[in-house]
Structure 1
């Protein structure tokens, strides 16, 4: 595996520049500041509604000598954590082949997002939407109407600080996208330790454009879940099919099906039905196997209300069908509107979830065994972001 990565790095350095795309030298610094206003249905006290500082971020993008660079670092005061979002070197090996080396988005499912809302679709919460890892990625566009992406990731992206770290079982959870992290899970009422993490992952994604307005695609992912106690990996898999369509005046549809199997073992050797995953400084348990169905529809309307130039109305829905018979399924429904006004983007969402980990009176519970008596929890959320 190391030899393969070394060869790819050598290709990056030694490629014939006469055949590569050359970018003009440039350098840009940007970022964003975002705030949240929220009201949770499961909280009954005078603190509701509440306003929080969601995030602030720093972006640096540039190009010099034909080599591109992109970097983003995020700070989340509410969660007491900060971490890299992405950071890579990019190079055009030819007119049809572009390489990214570093922390890049995993090519899987609908790109760049499977969702319309601020909340993502349900698969984000177990690492299969807008995921970022550390490795090398190639984008190939040399076949008419077909885009191919293939990648190798040695490991998950570097993590920042987490809420309490090992003391509270959140080791490795300071990150943007959900990844498998060391932690503990419940098996038949017993707390079991799992010293596991992601290692050596391969991805392949194909998207075929039937027309400019209609895309169909398929993705495959296989990677190791390494247990440091046993010094060995189990091979996990995920596959996906997707459809993206635009029609009429401003209509858009995104639909996907995903099947995953996070095959992993606990420190005592037992196969895990629930694996620990973490992001934003905290960890929770996620079902090892499931089929996920997600669909979203949106309508964009051009406007001229002062600085407001467009409104996008949408409804996103996810159903997670957990494979284990006595696990309770998860549902996620988010109607809302995106208000675009120059550099300010405002998401107004009424998020509803049943066994959804972030729409839960006990944070994180829902994607594991779930609650058979779970109710539809609701959160009215306004996210206001200024991007520069």
Structure 2
């Protein structure tokens, strides 16, 4: 979901050169290069959107992927283009989702350098559905930053450590997007006067350190328990209004199952310590009771302290139906309990099914929840909420994606 600026232009150029090299190498036998991509289309219906009573259909994503693996030297990059219909904002963007190079050592441990996935919590995703969990929108799931990541050799106990001096940066988008929020990962970003909340907050994430350890409870590694910790700097670029502060997070998780049943559980606590001036707010709120996170074109406020709980259950259906197979039924539940007085909890539940046919992958999701910028008209829902948005709202997502 989005990224742009001078600091990341070089990364984008490297990704494009990798892509061009991958095309040339793909003509040779036994090449270490692998070039692919995807095109995805969505039908959406939002219960609160009276202007679109029949929903809307459009392009979701077009992307290019390149991978390199000669056994020792490894690398991966992905560039995306999004173009959303009017019912979903009527905007476009492009961004580098990830781009890194690295080494695989003799013991199968690895080191990555570049724009890489944060190894925090359940991996590689917390959720089964397309829209992920509340942890994604709070900046703790499916997130990529710029730095180094080391992963231990595979085994009964695995650990990772990463240091990220900078976030992934912002990229390009239409005139109706917020420049600092044109990125895939949800980071703390500078607010926007036209497309945001006009708070004047200009914070950034810097020097993030992440550690994670996971214990495999059986031979095939299906059942796993783990612990993750994160700490980093919140850079206050308006120094006249405050100073640099810290953010911290801790998570415990379990993933496992038996037979065709699968379960994923996570409990996460985070704390953003900020130093904002009295005028860096909106609606009379305490300016240090929220931070501005941004991604996919727009920033929104998130409670500065909270607990996130995730409980997902899925079932793999056997057999085929014509060309369709790989049927998975799931229910993914997550809640953000805000540890800020007067802030109401945010809820997200997604019931759905995924399946495939050749190179096609399909999702059918029914979402309901409240106080959530992607699941209700409550754009500030992950922070303070309005009484007029107290009820549950619904969103239907039907997606078809062709992966090559």
TM-score bracket, shorter-length normalisation: 0.7 to 0.9
Query: Could you say which residue in structure 2 is the equivalent of 1:176?
Result: 184
Tell me by how many angstroms 1:162 deviates. Answer: 4.2
Classify 1:62/1:379 alpha carbon distance in 2 versus 1 (closer, same or farther; 3 Å). Answer: same
**Is the 8 Å Cα contact of residues 263 and 271 (structure 1) preserved in structure 2?**
no
Structure-to-structure mapping, 1:165-244, within 5 angstroms: 170-183=178-191, 192-211=199-218, 212-230=221-239, 232-244=243-255
What are the Cα deviations for residues 216-248 of structure 1, in whole angstroms up to 9, with x where unaligned?
A: 001000000101121842111000000001212
Q: Secondary structure at the match of 2:50?
A: coil
Query: Could you say which residue in structure 1 is the equivalent of 2:116?
Result: 104
**Is the 8 Å Cα contact of residues 191 and 198 (structure 2) preserved in structure 1?**
no
Q: CA RMSD in A?
A: 2.0
The count of aligned residue pairs is 355
What are the Cα deviations for residues 32-85 of structure 1, in whole angstroms up to 9, with x where unaligned?
A: 000000111112235522101101100011135831121100100113111011
Give 1 or 2: higher strand fraction: 1
Q: Work out the CA distance in 1 between the residues paired with 2:215 and 2:310.
A: 20
Query: Could you say which residue in structure 1 is the equivalent of 2:382?
Result: 367
Of stretches 148-157 and 224-233 in structure 1, the one that deviates more from structure 2 is: 224-233
User: How high is the TM-score relative to the length of structure 1?
Assistant: 0.87
Classify 1:281/1:45 alpha carbon distance in 2 versus 1 (closer, same or farther; 3 Å). Answer: closer
Structure-to-structure mapping, 1:18-33, within 5 angstroms: 26-33=32-39
Q: Work out the CA distance in 1 between the residues paired with 2:70 and 2:225.
A: 35
Q: Work out the CA distance in 1 between the residues paired with 2:31 and 2:257.
A: 35
Q: Secondary structure at the match of 2:181?
A: coil
Classify 1:308/1:264 alpha carbon distance in 2 versus 1 (closer, same or farther; 3 Å). Answer: same
Q: Work out the CA distance in 2 between the residues paired with 1:112 and 1:312.
A: 18
**Is the 8 Å Cα contact of residues 253 and 264 (structure 2) preserved in structure 1?**
yes
**Is the 8 Å Cα contact of residues 224 and 255 (structure 2) preserved in structure 1?**
yes
- Asked if 1:135 corresponds to 2:143, the answer is no
Q: Give unmatched runs, 5+ long, in structure 1.
A: 1-23
Q: Secondary structure at the match of 2:318?
A: strand
**Is the 8 Å Cα contact of residues 71 and 104 (structure 2) preserved in structure 1?**
no
Q: Work out the CA distance in 1 between the residues paired with 2:191 and 2:51.
A: 32
Q: Give unmatched runs, 5+ long, in structure 2.
A: 1-29, 85-90, 281-285
Q: Work out the CA distance in 2 between the residues paired with 1:63 and 1:299.
A: 33
**Is the 8 Å Cα contact of residues 171 and 179 (structure 2) preserved in structure 1?**
no
Q: Work out the CA distance in 2 between the residues paired with 1:286 and 1:148.
A: 30
**Is the 8 Å Cα contact of residues 295 and 316 (structure 1) preserved in structure 2?**
yes
